[in-house]
Structure 1
Amino acid sequence: MIPRVLLVLCVAAAAVPAPAADFPDVPVPKGARGERVSDHMRYNGLDMRASRYAIDQPVDKVRAFYLRQWKDKVADTALDGGGSVLGYMDRGRHYVTVALRPAGRGTEATIGVMRLPLEDVAPDAVGKGFARLPRTEVAEDIVYLDTPRQVRTLSMGNAHSPFQNERFYTRTLGAQGYAREPGDACQASSQVCQVRYTRDRERITVTAMRQEQGTAIVAVIE
């Protein structure tokens, strides 16, 4: 029901240094051209860092680079289409994943470094504090801690229509003092409804998109 939201599409502001993130460096092959997606974000209650790079080498060669680096401590999982996901536990405190996918004659890689929690994440931590219609599933709850406004993005899904979701958030956020900005009207037949709500300097943008099964909702809180 819920399409996976690419992390890079969620970055909504310029990054600033994160306080005391202390993530380990992850090796990359020579010739890689990359960028940081987020220096410090909280993904479904877990602290992590994300980056990506492209390189003019096939997946097998890049994969071999990491197998040499991490030897028998690496978990190697094949992906459909010729890709691979490599996992590595760094000193028992962080878990590193490198997802490799073919891109023409080269490879695109996405690196995630997740800090393992000292305690279990509370079951209600994902989506906490953001109102939702009944039987709404929260797939992703991301807070970008390295942005000035600490932007939060939620990816959700339910069986209600885009119009029903828009009506719910207009009522609920209106009761919290948010004003609905003028924009395209959302109709009962609408396939996509996107609305921005503002309260002083705060902004919430909710996009509801009809899918084959149910509706996908993305909320960006700034």
Structure 2
Amino acid sequence: MSGRPSSRLLAQMVGPVLFGLATQHARAADWPDVPVPEQASGEIVSDHMIYNGISMRASRFTVAAPPGQVEQFYRQEWGKGVVATPVGNKTVLGHMEAGGYYVTVELSGDATSTRGQIGVMQLPKNDLPADGVGKGFGRLPDTQVAEDIVYMDTPRHVRTLSMLNRYTPLQNQQYYTRHFAAQGYVRDSSSSACAATSPHCVGRFIRQEERVTVTSSRGKTGTVVVAVVE
């Protein structure tokens, strides 16, 4: 499966919880089934990922019905156990399932069709470590880590981090070039050229079978840094 849930969607589905509950991963058989409207077509985005420390799975669907009608479908399925939260032009429905699972369904669309993004999260039984998000991945001082995702259903357990800091794309790329060189990585020739005025820089680093791609992009509130570790 090539699709992955957007950073925006995932940030809306859970708060700033922390990474690192490998011993609490749910088995596939434990996940609750989430209903979808009749005639809906969909696909699994991830059978199992760890999002900021929480085990979860994600899927999506489309159906030829307006979002309001789809919302009513879930209200009929879940009764009073539904919390609806408007997020821009979307609506996020939340529902607690037995066994410590929380389900979110993000609905968007128009008068004739709806796109649904489903997230099922296994809520942790214990407090998550305060330093968990971004743990083990180097970064410049005062860098905020918004998301730390590990895709457990990929052969190499691909990890994606989304970060924000006040440094330029060039400063970020210079840091990661030094950081990974010290760990035995080689900067790949496919990396982009980066200058002080560059709004966007991409660095690719290789160590035997391991690969790291770091993309730094200048934004309105700072530089957004996205790292993919394979």
TM over 0.5: yes
Higher-RCO chain (CA-CA 8 Å, sequence separation at least 6): 1
How far off its partner does 1:23 sit? 1.0
Q: Does 1:219 align with 2:227?
A: yes
Partner of 1:14: none
Partner of 1:77: 85
Aligned-residue CA RMSD (Å): 1.7
Task: State the Cα deviation string for residues 76-115 of structure 1 (Å, max 9, x = none).
Answer: 122322x311111101410000010114621100000000
Question: Any unmatched runs of 5+ in structure 1?
Answer: 8-17
Partner of 1:140: 147
Q: Label 1:104 to 1:188 Cα distance change in 2 as closer, same or farther (>3 A).
A: farther
Instruction: Give the Cα separation in 1 of the matches to 2:123 and 2:62.
Output: 27
Q: Does 1:151 align with 2:173?
A: no
How far off its partner does 1:19 sit? 7.8
How far off its partner does 1:20 sit? 2.0
One-letter code aligned to 1:31? Q
Instruction: Give the Cα separation in 1 of the matches to 2:114 and 2:97.
Output: 24
Instruction: Give the Cα separation in 2 of the matches to 1:98 and 1:129.
Output: 32
Give the 3-state SS of the residue equivalent to 1:209 in structure 2: strand
TM-score by length of 2: 0.87
Partner of 1:43: 51
Give the 3-state SS of the residue equivalent to 1:61 in structure 2: helix
Q: Does 1:201 align with 2:209?
A: yes
Q: Choose 137-146 or 174-183, whichever is displaced more.
A: 174-183
Task: State the Cα deviation string for residues 149-189 of structure 1 (Å, max 9, x = none).
Answer: 10000000000000000000000110001100013311111
Identity of paired residues, percent?
52
Alignment check: 8 A CA contact 1:97 1:112 kept: yes
Instruction: Give the Cα separation in 2 of the matches to 1:77 and 1:215.
Output: 29
One-letter code aligned to 1:166? Q
Alignment map for 1:11-160 (pairs within 5 Å):
20-21=27-28, 22-81=30-89, 83-103=90-110, 105-160=112-167
Q: Label 1:4 to 1:170 Cα distance change in 2 as closer, same or farther (>3 A).
A: same
One-letter code aligned to 2:78? W
Alignment check: 8 A CA contact 2:65 2:111 kept: no
Give the 3-state SS of the residue equivalent to 1:112 in structure 2: strand
Alignment check: 8 A CA contact 2:46 2:58 kept: yes
One-letter code aligned to 2:159? R
Instruction: Give the Cα separation in 2 of the matches to 1:191 and 1:153.
Output: 21
Partner of 1:176: 183
How far off its partner does 1:33 sit? 1.0
Runs of 4+ in 1 over 6 A off after TM superposition: none
Question: Any unmatched runs of 5+ in structure 2?
Answer: 1-5, 11-24
